[in-house]
Each structure stands twice: as C-alpha cells, then as structure tokens.
Homo-oligomer: A and B are copies of this chain.
C-alpha cells in the first residue's frame, strides 16, 4: 500500500533515525518506548514522530506506547532493510577500506559483495575478504552479483566516468562520497555524503 503514497524524503530520513535508535534500544534490552523517549533519544519531537509513522498505518497503543521490537521490524520492512541488500563498492582506497570494515553496514543488511578499482596496482589485491576487481569489468561482474546499490569512494576526477559504468551495469542507487555532483538518468537516485560541506557549515558557525 505504501508504494502508492508519496512519502516525503525528510520523513524517510527520520524513519532511518528512528530505526537506528530502535536497534540501539533492542541491544540494551529495552522492550517498550513512548514518543517522549523518541524525543530524548533522537532529538526529533514526539508529534513529528507520530506524524511520520501515520503514513504507514497504526502503531503503538494509547497509554502503553510502542513495542520496541515490533516497531523496529515494521520500520525495517517499510525501509526494505529487513533483507540483505548486495552493494558494490568502487574505489579501493582508504575510505573504501574503512567502509568495508564498518560494522554498521553488515548489521543493517547492506553487504558489500564486490570491490572495484581502476588502478592496476590495486586490482587483484585483497580488501578485507574481497578481491579488488577491475572497474572496467563491472557490468560483467554485476550480472552475477546482481547489486542495485553502489557506494562510490573514488576521487572526483574519476567519479563521473565510474558512474556511467555503474548505470550501465544496472545500478539504481548510488551513495556518493566523492566531493562532486554526478549526472545520472532519472531512473537512478544519488545521495551525497559530503563531510567537507558539513565542515564548512560548522566553520561558519564557529566564527559567527
């Protein structure tokens, strides 16, 4: 049903926040929570939380609150993170290596199933337990790997040409760590992780 509702992007972003927080609560054996707890734990106010959930039906019980495990499962289902998602990583440098080793990814069912680079010195080497493959053969490799998600950790100068290859290889969503805008067809979604930009915003506030 929710496929037919147009859910605003900020709501989806907040759902991701709630979901991470619910995972933390589960780890700490917390069984129920109120929307006031959500506010303390995530900084998002209780009314907003209830509104965000209202897109997806009935949640919680008046006077009792929310069952942490159930809510976690339902949000995971909404965000489609309740199943393993294969992910390709392009750019086998330091950042790529850090991401493969990042425990949060696997935990949230994003499994990096292939690592690629264009540098002959890196191709064939090991990055954690993955063999770094030639990015020029990514389409061929993805016929088997069947990933729809890619993480891009290449220098800005290589980002667009790699993106074109990713699109050609059937990738539908790209998480871009390269500090530059990517041009993609309308059917492909890109999100940028840009910490330089975050730092500049912080820097402004430091002095004002």
Provide the residues of chain B in CB contact with A85, threshold 8 Å.
Answer: 203, 206
List the 5 closest A-B pairs by CB distance, nearest first.
Answer: A16-B197, A94-B98, A173-B202, A16-B200, A98-B98
Number of copies of this protein chain within its complex: 2
B98 touches A201 (CB 8 A): no
Closest B residue by C-beta to A128: B94
27 A-B pairs within 8 Å (CB atoms) are namely A12-B200, A12-B201, A13-B201, A15-B200, A16-B197, A17-B181, A20-B179, A20-B197, A24-B156, A24-B180, A79-B201, A80-B204, A93-B101, A94-B94, A95-B102, A104-B196, A105-B199, A110-B196, A149-B199, A149-B202, A149-B206, A173-B203, A175-B202, A189-B202, A189-B206, A193-B195, A193-B198
Are B42's CB and A181's CB within 8 A?
yes
Contacting B at CB under 8 A, from A84-138, are 85, 87, 93-95, 97-99, 101-105, 108, 110
